[in-house]
Amino acid sequence: MKKSLFGIPKGMKLAAAGIATVVGLAYPAVQSLAADAKYPETITIGTILPLTGATAQNGENSLRGIQLAVDDINESGGIKSMGGAKLKLAIADATSNPAKAASAAINFLSKDEKPLAMVGAYASGLTETIARVTERARIPLLSTSFADTLTQQGYKFFFQLPAAASKMGTAQFRYASEVSKANGTPISKVAIVYANNAYGATQAESLKKQAEANGTQVVLFEGYSPEITDANPIVAKIKASGADSAFSIAYVTDGVLLMRALKSAGSTLPMFGGTGGYVTPDFLKVLGASVNGVFSVTTSNPDDYGAVGEAYQKKYGQFMPQEAHDNAAAVYIIAEALEGHPTTDPVELAQVIHKGKFTRGAAGSMPGGVVEFDANGVNTHAAPLMVQWQNSQLIGVWPQDLVKGKPEWPAAKQ
């Protein structure tokens, strides 16, 4: 079979699950594979993502990364320890609604061909409801969602790849403070605005706490619905607050609305985003050169994506966003776990993932070059990074020992 360089094979078929309410999710007894076992021809990996609604673009970006990883693994010979078994991707739309996401997960796992493992669901609010379903069904769920609560429930089948929201919020302020001080203009009054959901609220609270601990005055702390259609009232509050810098935690649509409103109001405040929409190709596509100078924390360094990032660029004509990379890493972790311990039992696979160290593909370009989970499903090597838009490209700029680039200041430079 032809060796893949992260390319996309033709003819890939994707199964989609509908939404229905069912009961009784159960798996058969352990099916660990002995050396002489008959291996399945395909291994189903499921993903539930917001493919419609407010966070649909982030869901689509995530799906692209997942598909890229699945197709590369298959073109590289499949799971060799299981006789070359190919990964089969099954997809369900979580929408952008947590209640519907739970129903989608229940329906998805009621199918005759249940997934061995799952990846999803981008937004923490969606993942919180889906994780309850996958935990009851005893299926590993590998997620790029940030909410701290996801790894505080005692789950045995949940795995969180990025740093938790509280760490992201802490780093968002700390890195911003360090960058501003290094450039001779320390920040003293900050405005914090955030999408008021599990992801935004947790990160914002941590950001606020870190700012206050630093002796910085928080002159505005404002949550809003992630589905806003007009950011001008928020921007008016930012301008009236007297802040010397703005911090935002947003998805694509609300982040774009906020930046447009700030520019229209003539604001030149340094902007420090909280990943989400601030590190996506769509942010650049819509806003153009006005993104230059904007900072954001993120979960992995785009400068380190290497071959997988190049393949994504070639396939889709744009740089690989954070959610695409980190979701691809989840697929590579599943594949690497199966290579080391072939099994068709999700319970056993979860145990293998808990014990392993993973470096294959995009897992090797997560912070630290390795992914390893503790008993609560926390990636012990996860660490936030800060990037900045420079010349319409995302460049890793902080901390200096983890990135190659340097911050440009003043941040409002265009």
- Residue ranges of domains in the chain: 15-163+303-372, 165-298+385-398
User: Which tokens sit at 407?
Assistant: 């911050």
What is the predicted pLDDT for the residue at 411? 57
With a cut of 50, list the residues of the chain below it in pLDDT. 1-32, 34-35, 412-414
The domain defined by 15-163+303-372 carries CATH number 2.60.40.420: no
What is the predicted pLDDT for the residue at 20? 32
379: β partners:
373
- Contact in structure between 349 and 137 (CB atoms under 8 Å): no
Same fold, 15-163+303-372 and 165-298+385-398: yes
How far does CA 254 lie from the centroid of its chain?
17
Q: Residue 22: phi, psi to the nearest 5?
A: -135, 170
What is the predicted pLDDT for the residue at 112? 75
Instruction: Please report the beta strands in 74-154, taking only residues with DSSP state E, as ranges in sequence order.
Output: 86-93, 117-120, 141-143
* CATH code that applies to domain 165-298+385-398: 3.40.50.2300
What is the predicted pLDDT for the residue at 83? 96
pLDDT tens digits for range 227-277: 899 999 999 999 999 999 999 999 999 999 999 999 999 999 999 999 989
What is the predicted pLDDT for the residue at 58? 93
Selection from 272, 226, 238, 232 nearest residue 97 by Cα: 226
Residue 275 burial by Cβ neighbours in a 10 Å radius (0-12, 13-18, 19+): buried
- Contact in structure between 111 and 138 (CB atoms under 8 Å): no
User: Which tokens sit at 24?
Assistant: 């009784």
Residue type, 299: T
Instruction: Please report the beta strands in 114-256, taking only residues with DSSP state E, as ranges in sequence order.
Output: 117-120, 141-143, 158-160, 189-195, 217-224, 245-249
